Amino acid sequence: MRRPAKLLFVYNADSGLFSTLADIGHKLFSPATYTCALCAITHGVLAERAEWPAFIESLGATCEFLHRDQFREQFPQIQDALPAIFRRHGDRLQLCADTSAIGACQGLDDLQALIRRDCL
């Protein structure tokens, strides 16, 4: 019997109120230069897209979400470019969707297909 996947989604943005406000401003005034494709796809300017939590729930996987600063604090040895999605095996992480794969997604449908194909 196959174990359910454990996925770790890492945004290329820092946690905290100031960072959140800066991200909102960046998305509003310069969306083409926003550096987190994962956030741009899964969140609108002010909130998470309604379809995203339903998709995550449908995966049957344990999913964790970290911001860049939280990730670097917990996993300082991992220097992969962000955003990224990892499969988690205890304390070991395996990259399953890198920055370029996420950035190539044209929207939520593409991201969902990428996750189902490469991360589960």
Q: Is residue 94 part of a domain?
A: yes
Distance CA 107, CA 114 (A): 11
Q: Mind listing the pLDDT tens digit for each residue in 8-26? A: 999 998 887 656 656 655 5
Which runs of E-coded beta strand occur in the chain? Answer: 6-10, 62-66, 84-89, 92-97
Q: Is residue 1 part of a domain?
A: no
Distance CA 7, CA 13 (A): 18
**Total domain count for the chain?**
1
| Mean pLDDT, residues 44-64 taken together | 91
Q: Mind listing the pLDDT tens digit for each residue in 60-102? A: 999 999 999 999 999 999 999 999 999 999 889 999 999 999 9
pLDDT at 21: 56
Contact 85, 9 (CB under 8 A): yes
Per the model's pLDDT, the better-predicted residue between 65 and 3 turns out to be 65
**Which residue range forms the structural domain that includes residue 76?**
6-118
Q: Is residue 10 part of a domain?
A: yes
* Three-state SS at 102: helix
